[in-house]
C-alpha cells in the first residue's frame, strides 16, 4: 500500500533524483527496474529521471521478450529500449546508481571511483533506506543517498552477500524472468516508499 503524499512541491527528492539502473546485458533486469521505478513514481505524481545501462551490454538490442512479457504480466508498461554499454559519463550524471547485482555496482565504481559513495545494489539501498526510516533518523531530502551510505556497517546486512543480487534471468526459463521481475518490483516499491516517508517525516535543514 502506498502512502498518500503531496509530491508536486518544489524540492521533492524524487523529482530531482537522476537514477541509473545497471545490470549486465541491459536487456532484462535494468529495463524492468526502470519501468518499475517509473510506475512507482508516476503513481505518486512524480516524474522519474531514470536511465539504464549494462556493463556487458548487448548494445542495440531490444528487451528480452521473456523479460518484457513478465513485466507486462506484473502490470508494468515496457518502453522502447535499446541496450547501452555503461560509460563513466552515465555514472557521473547519476545521483544514485542502483545495480541489480554486486557486479554491476563494482563496474560503476571501477569507472568512477568516487561513485562508491552513491552506488548500491537495488536490494542494498532498499535495506538501508528502510533502516533509516526504522531508526527515526532525521534526513534532509537532498541527503538521503548520503545518509543511506552512512548506514553501511550499521544496518543489519544479508546473511549471504548473494542475497543482495537479483539473479540474471537472461537465457533462462520464463519462470526465472517472472521471479526477477517480482523481486525488482517489490524492491523498487520498497525504496520509493521509504524515500517518501523520509521526505515527509524529515525536516529540511539549511
Q: What is the pLDDT along the chain (206 residues), one digit of tens a residue?
A: 333 334 444 446 677 789 999 999 999 999 999 999 999 999 888 888 999 999 999 999 999 999 999 999 999 999 999 999 999 999 999 999 999 999 999 999 999 999 999 999 999 999 999 999 998 877 877 899 999 999 998 887 778 888 899 999 999 999 999 999 999 999 999 999 999 888 754 443 33
Q: Is 191 helix (H, G, I), strand (E, B) or coil?
A: helix
Q: Which is nearest to 39 in space by CA: 203, 200, 188? A: 188
Please tell me the distance from the alpha carbon of residue 196 to that of residue 30, in angstroms, as a whole number. 22
Whole-number pLDDT of residue 9: 40
Q: Name beta bridge partners: 53.
A: 22
Whole-number pLDDT of residue 74: 97
Whole-number pLDDT of residue 123: 97
Look up the pTM and report it: 0.90
DSSP letter (8 states) at residue 119: E
Q: Name beta bridge partners: 143.
A: none
Amino acid at each position: 500500500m502506498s502512502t498518500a503524499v503531496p509530491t508536486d512541491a518544489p524540492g521533492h527528492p524524487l523529482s530531482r533524483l537522476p537514477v541509473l539502473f545497471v545490470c549486465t546485458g541491459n536487456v532484462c533486469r535494468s529495463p524492468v527496474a526502470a519501468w518499475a521505478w517509473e510506475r512507482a513514481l508516476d503513481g505518486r505524481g512524480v516524474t522519474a529521471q531514470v536511465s539504464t545501462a549494462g556493463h556487458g551490454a548487448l548494445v542495440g538490442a531490444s528487451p528480452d521478450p521473456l523479460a518484457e512479457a513478465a513485466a507486462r504480466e506484473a502490470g508494468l508498461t515496457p518502453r522502447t529500449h535499446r541496450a547501452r554499454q555503461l560509460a563513466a559519463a552515465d555514472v557521473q550524471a547519476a545521483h544514485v546508481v542502483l545495480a541489480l547485482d554486486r557486479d554491476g555496482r563494482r563496474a560503476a565504481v571501477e569507472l568512477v571511483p568516487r561513485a562508491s559513495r552513491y552506488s548500491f545494489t537495488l536490494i542494498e539501498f532498499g535495506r538501508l533506506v528502510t533502516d533509516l526510516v526504522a531508526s527515526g533518523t532525521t534526513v534532509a531530502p537532498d541527503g538521503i543517498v548520503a545518509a543511506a551510505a552512512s548506514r553501511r556497517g550499521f544496518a543489519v546486512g544479508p546473511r549471504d552477500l548473494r542475497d543482495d543480487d537479483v539473479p540474471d534471468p537472461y537465457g533462462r526459463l520464463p519462470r526465472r524472468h517472472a521471479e526477477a521481475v517480482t523481486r525488482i518490483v517489490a524492491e523498487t516499491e520498497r525504496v520509493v516508499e521509504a524515500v517518501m516517508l523520509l521526505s515527509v517525516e524529515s525536516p529540511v535543514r539549511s
